[in-house]
Structure 1
Amino acid sequence: MVPSSRRRFLAGLGVVGTAGLAGCLDAIPRFPKRVHDRDAVLTPRSDGWRSKHGGSARRGVTDGSLPSDATASPVLAVDDWWEVQPVFGPDEVVVPVQLPPESDAHEPSFEGLVALDSKSGDERWRFAYEKPFATPTVVGDTVFVQGKTTYALDRTDGTRYWEYRSGYGYAGTAPVFVDGVVAVIASRSRTVAGVDARTGEKLWSTPLVSEFPTGIASDGDSVYACTPGGGDDGPGELARLDASTGAFEWRTDLDARVSTPTVGTDRVYAWVGRRLAAFDGATGDELWSVRLRTSDHRYPPVVVDGGQCLTLEQKRGRNPNPTLVALDATSGEVQWRGPSAHELDTVQLAANETHVYVVLDSHDVAAVDRTDGTVTETWELPGHPTAGVAVDDGTAAVVTREEFEESVTLLN
């Protein structure tokens, strides 16, 4: 039996230990899952290029066109072969960047989101956050962007509406917006999460198969998600989720790696291995597919508009540059093959009602007639592009590289 004096001594140590531990815990900073400063403003809505992938307002479709006398001006030096897509908001361009180190420093001077005036290129605001960066999405007066955390920012000044610790995103996983819900990929947990777009409150989380989700897209009602599959990960998958609950509406297993989907009027388009395939948006049934690739390198962009599907066909032989190609969005029949574009893994497309804009293998931006694939105008860039061209309201934005220096370049 332990003597009473020793019991009192041990009990005293326990009290001190507990108090000490509590004190230590109180000293450790707490990181809440969600920080809500104020409700995000989701109006006014506008059409146009809003992100690298996605649905009707987020698939490279714009009402604007480039003027014939547009000239290219580098407006912001960026670092490290920057490939994240510039995105237009009303009167501004927003892009995640890493800025070059100052003087002899080894670390970048800034990492995060920068907003530039779309006409002058003058900086409007910046918001620091951690890599890896995802391409942002603009909805009304809110910019949604994801790193390790998903943020909702005031588009006018870059101040925070809210943040939610969603987990890692990456350049292809732009947030999507559906009827008041923002869906994001938390790639480490292999889930798609639905968050209240105004407040940042988590509404649902849906686990997916495979190593990590490839990307997500949206229409007016649902969220479409892909997992890549292939190799030891089993089949790829294309799935449609209810935007309000995250429940699966359908799931389609596919026998090859699957790209981020692009949403048309009633169909979903995605690369499945080396073929471009169209799926019924309501059922997930495959409707047609066309083999357009000769390797399993990165996926070419897909723009769907006005019954036409625009993408890049990889060439055979020594020339690695792809060819711009137009397909009938209903049947998959090739309508025309156009000019050679820049490298397959860096080019993006932007289309208005009459033309599609693409970076040529000569490193110029070209306007290509959507009826026959002929080049009608070109604009010279100051260097090699490292991300595709975005067009909105008479201005184009592209990241270019000259020798060892990258820059955000505006054409207007």
Structure 2
Amino acid sequence: MTNEEKAAQLWQQTGFAQQTVIQTAVAAPLLAGQSVAGVAPTGSGKTLAYGIPTLSRLTPGAGLQLVIIVPAQELAIQIRDVLTPLAKTLDLGFQGLIGSANRERQIKRLREKPEAVVATVGRFIDLLEEGKLRLDTVKTLIVDEFDSFEPEALADILSIRRGGLPQTANLGLFSATDSQAILGEFKAAWPELTLVDETKTDKSRGPVKHLLLDRQMTGKIQVLERLAREKHQRIFVFFNHKHVLQKVASQLRYQHVPASMLITDGRQVQRAEALQDFRSGKVPLLLTTDVAARGLDVADVTAVVNFELPDTLTTYIHRTGRTGRQGAPGTIYNLGNDHDLRDLRHLVGDRIALENEPGETKPTAKHQPANSATTSEPPAPSARKPRKKALTSAEEEEASAKKRKKRKERWRNKKNVGKHW
């Protein structure tokens, strides 16, 4: 059976009637052993795009031939679960090398000489340096979500090229956004690397609204409560800081709002349970960070909430790409004060159409005509109540500190009454 026939068999096994744009674009180059960087929207089927052609090139019993490196444990588990049945069809062994899993058990399974592995970078480098892995038979190195690795991790991945990887081994880089700087580093090691960017040609995205909601902390939590109580919701809630995530999770528990947490330093069993509860619909909210959720594929995500706004366009694209997949509608709720929302507008520029919260459209310097079809006439100033100026988090903390100081002073004064008389 030729490699092309193997690939056709695996595509038939997946049950997909039609391949996506990125799957069609990279299939032939990867089957031919060429090096490609595939960039396409989140949810466009990149795992199968590289998984099927690279598995089709492997030979049973010929040692380790395919290495897939990923930035997050959950992503490694997801890829392992998707590709293992396909590997079995071709009589290939497929193993996960995940940082939080039992190391000795992984070493024992490596003695069975799997033809393919998916690994988090730290665990892979450790096993490689200890001589538990050999690279001399590897045909393909895949780096998934290549733009999300820390510089140290990228350096480790590039060191694989010098650590015994055959010069004939081809490279596959995949992500939802590209990074010219990172691509340049890999191109220095693989000069034949070709970029295949399908972000503009992929039309699988459904209609997605990007809303701006002016909220402080209490108002943000109220948004989550309201969304969680609506029927048939599956919502990613993104945070920049773990301590904020944990504080919000605690308040949601107090309000009896069903939600799960996915954080990088949680126990693997807890993380797996949180993800399963979210995927199954048992809980409507998954509170997470970018690192913990990078690359996760969850079907039927109805909305994404940016509880803390991202500080890069790349992060915004990765987060928001989790809804509106395969033609389904989606909504993005961006929460913050006036300053935060202005910064977000500046960040995304003309790339994404951001809308003010329905019913609270603020007047700008240039209003549209009163009979415009897209906006309603702002209410007269006399009909509005004056709005308190939103405080930044630093101003809120300063105000709280002043209140605490005054309370202490009042307590001391009360305690010391009559002491010196």
Task: With the length of structure 2 as denominator, give the TM-score of the two structures.
Answer: 0.24
User: Which structure has more helix as a fraction of its residues?
Assistant: 2
Task: With the length of structure 1 as denominator, give the TM-score of the two structures.
Answer: 0.25
User: Which structure has more strand as a fraction of its residues?
Assistant: 1
